[in-house]
Amino acid sequence: MPETSYAPSALDRSATFYVAGHRGLVGSAIWRRLEDEGFSNLVGRASSELDLKDRGAVFDFFAAEKPRYVALAAAKVGGILANNTYPVDFLSENLRIQTNVMDAALEHGVERLLFLGSSCIYPKLAPQPLKEEYLLTGHLEPTNDAYAIAKIAGILQVQAVRRQYGLPWISAMPTNLYGPGDNFSSTGSHVLPALIRRYEEARLSGAESVTNWGTGSPLREFLHVDDMAKACLYLLENYDGPEQVNVGVGTDVTIKELAQTVADAVGYQGAIEWDTTKPDGTPRKLMDVSKLTALGWKASIGLDEGIRRTVEWFREHQDDFRK
């Protein structure tokens, strides 16, 4: 069984680096980070230019660009409602996107590839905080099982390429992310951008109260996407192994605390109410980040500051945020 003989080291700043999904929340942050770090040959394509579901087009693209490094941040992503309503889209599109990119990357011998999983693909009832070894040890959360199966297949593909071909590809497992470029749509967004939009609109309309779903007691962890992008490059330069690496902050907040922080950040002064007849979801979801900490990386953007920056971005992009 060939094991990689790769010793992680600084990536070549002049090599071609393909960021798949470079206009998305994570991909755009990775792109900014790589630019800041002096990478001079970044390649990206919008889905309108290159549909990663189109296998022939993906192989043609790799043949033309011959990237040496790949960050695979293109995926069909959505909140609980979208995942629950369109499971076959989340399963089929994600399988096709990631398989096409990784098959083409393999054919062209891409030296380092980073695949992104997600904390939501750990088993529903896994102990907290979530350790890397809990993957595939129990049943999935039914509302996003289709998405999770696709993502798990991606992590397995990275491991299989390592075993069969000895290429030093890796996977990272981000917690909930937020930041500039997030999806603020009313149907497809995650909890934090949804709260920012809801409270900003309530402030502007002078609403006396805003009602959120559930009790507000579930605990969640949030990582600013600029920290995530830093961690991605850090892993590419400092980690080589088959196991996915959790990327988070290692601490969590209640949804109630989160709502208050968002309300304070936007300057909303009305009441915050909770519709306790609506479901809460999983009580707690927190990553164990000891593996990443042992590798020498930790997050640097606090939640208050990160939310303030995201609110600023949201206000500056009223005409072009993702609705």
Q: Annotated active-site positions, please?
A: 147
Instruction: Count other C-beta atoms under 10 Å from residue 165's C-beta.
Output: 12
Q: Is 177 annotated as a binding residue?
A: yes
Q: Is 48 annotated as a binding residue?
A: no
3-state SS class at 232: helix
Residue type present at position 101: V
Stretch that binds ligand NDP, among 44-52, 129-137, 158-166, 263-271 (CB under 6 A): 44-52
Minimum CB separation of residue 208 from ligand NDP in Å reads 31
Paired strand residues for 273: 211
Q: Is 44 annotated as a binding residue?
A: no
Give yes or no for residue 27 binding ligand NDP (CB under 6 A). yes
Bridge-based pairing state of the strands 219-220 and 253-254: antiparallel
Bridge-based pairing state of the strands 222-224 and 176-178: parallel
Binding mask 257-276 for ligand NDP (x = CB under 6 A): --------------------
Size of the site for ligand NDP (CB under 6 A): 25
Question: How far is CA 185 from each of CA 22, 126, 323, rounded to the nearest angstrom?
Answer: 19, 30, 4
Give yes or no for residue 23 binding ligand NDP (CB under 6 A). yes
Q: In this chain, which of 4, 6, 43, 51 binds ligand NDP, going by CB under 6 A? A: 51
Q: Is 26 annotated as a binding residue?
A: yes
The span from the CA of 34 to the CA of 68, in Å, is 14
Question: What is the number of the residue whose Cβ is closest to ligand NDP?
Answer: 24
Instruction: Tell which positions 2-21 bind ligand NDP, by CB under 6 A.
Output: 21
Q: Is 119 annotated as a binding residue?
A: yes
Give yes or no for residue 74 binding ligand NDP (CB under 6 A). yes
Q: In this chain, which of 10, 46, 81, 271 binds ligand NDP, going by CB under 6 A? A: 46
Max CA distance (Å), the chain: 64
Residues 6+ apart with CB under 8 A from 198: 210, 212
The span from the CA of 141 to the CA of 162, in Å, is 28
In the block, residue with structure tokens 């770090």: 37
Q: How far is CA 273 from the centre of its chain?
A: 29
Minimum CB separation of residue 51 from ligand NDP in Å reads 5
Instruction: Tell which positions 87-146 bind ligand NDP, by CB under 6 A.
Output: 97, 116, 118
CA angle in degrees (0–180, nearest 5) for 16-18-24:
150
Closest of 30, 136, 125, 133 to residue 73, by C-alpha:
30
Instruction: Tell which positions 180-239 bind ligand NDP, by CB under 6 A.
Output: 183, 190
Give yes or no for residue 73 binding ligand NDP (CB under 6 A). yes
Q: Is 21 annotated as a binding residue?
A: yes
Q: List residues near ligand NDP by CB under 6 A.
A: 21, 23-27, 46-47, 50-53, 73-77, 97, 116, 118, 174, 176-177, 183, 190
- Residue ranges for the known binding site are 21-27, 116-119, 151, 174-177, 190, 198, 213, 220, 280
